[in-house]
Structure 1
Amino acid sequence: MNYTYILLCADNTFYIGWTTDLDNRLEAHNDGKGAKYTRGRTPVKLVYWEEHKNRSEAQKREVALRRFNKKQKLNLIEGFQESLEKEQSINYKIK
């Protein structure tokens, strides 16, 4: 699976990228082995991700997300976080 993701950096900026392994990529960013942009801005937190069928789709979405202004990014992240909270609440109630 391919993913497009947004990281919140320690300086409250966002980093947008794509990967085939979210866990390993997040670890690499936090270990200073990720993108040059994030090396001086650790720790970083994964705040948004999308799954894509192939690398091409993930890369196209990465480019599109990088064109978003800060307000658009915040709205996207906020909606994503709310959907995660609802999903966790539903899963908790089922158990």
Structure 2
Amino acid sequence: MSWYVYLIECRDGSIYTGIAIDVAARYAAHVAGKGARYTRSHPPQRLLAAFAVADKSAALREELRIKRLTPVQKRAYAHSAEPAAAS
């Protein structure tokens, strides 16, 4: 079971960062308004990237690290590595 860190670009240009096992299902929940509180008030526009990590603990650490980045740095991070195949 792989964990992923994912970045979503919202309609207002902000970037949401989260973790999931099934990124496609989690993104669909965000789009349907059933995801995180943030994406209910900042609707998703597109999935920027998803990166596989070793386990849930690593996913949480990477999520926190990414959340500390500026929006410009988050976009650069999303484009810097080859995105993992989201399940």
TM-score class, shorter: 0.7 to 0.9
Greater helix share, structure number? 1
2:66 equivalent in structure 1: 65
Unaligned runs of 5+ in 1: 85-95
Greater strand share, structure number? 2
2:17 equivalent in structure 1: 16
In the TM superposition, 1:6-85 aligns within 5 A as 6-80=7-81, 83=82
Which runs of 4 or more aligned residues in structure 1 lie more than 6 Å from their structure 2 counterparts after TM superposition?
Answer: none
Q: RMSD over aligned Cα, in angstroms?
A: 1.4
Q: Secondary structure at the match of 1:18?
A: strand
CA apart distance, 1:76: 1.3
Aligned residues: 82
* Structure with more relative contact order (C-alpha pairs < 8 Å, separation 6 or more): 2
Unaligned runs of 5+ in 2: none
Question: Structure 1 vs Structure 2: percent identity of aligned residues?
Answer: 30
37-46 or 58-67, which moves further after superposition?
A: 37-46
CA apart distance, 1:24: 0.5
